[in-house]
Amino acid sequence: MGKNTLRHNRKICKIYTRQIKSYFPIITKREKNYIKSCNIYGFYPVDRKLTLEDLYTECGHPKDIFSDYLSMTDPDLLYKQIRKTTIIKNTSIVILIITMIILFFGTLKSYDNYLRYKNDMKEANGYWIDVIE
């Protein structure tokens, strides 16, 4: 029972951590360190299986942990981080769209060249005619 219990408890702690992370708009090193400081993985009962309700009573609900983090964080710093990630995300989307357009027109050009080659092969009836002047 010990090995399965530990595996189950780790799984529950990962679920709880994911729930906490879902409240954060961005996850940087500062947020990761704050989540680690909550000591979620330190609460492991070895003799019984852990439930999410146990973690809620021991560590608090994820929204409470997030509100504590917001009360400690400078809003200007958080705004700058969110703005930076938004700019990076939008730039990535624009680059992806431009790449897709270039690939689309490249594919059209390649298909057009294929059709021309096929038409030229039909006109030549399979024979090449060399003209020497």
Task: Identify the top-confidence range among 60-64, 68-72, 86-90, 126-130.
Answer: 86-90
In the block, which residue shows the tokens 């060249």? Answer: 113
d(CA 5, CA 69): 31
pLDDT above 70 coverage of the chain, percent? 87
In the block, which residue shows the tokens 């408890």? Answer: 9
Given a cut of 70, is residue 125 above it in pLDDT?
no
The pair phi, psi for residue 41, each rounded to 5°, is -75, -5
Amino acid 19: pLDDT: 93
Give residue-wise pLDDT tens across range 19-31: 999 999 888 898 8
Number of H helices, E strands in the chain: 5, 0
d(CA 129, CA 118): 16
* Domain ranges across the chain: 1-73, 75-123
Give residue-wise pLDDT tens across range 37-54: 888 777 666 677 888 888
Q: How many residues can be counted in the chain? A: 133
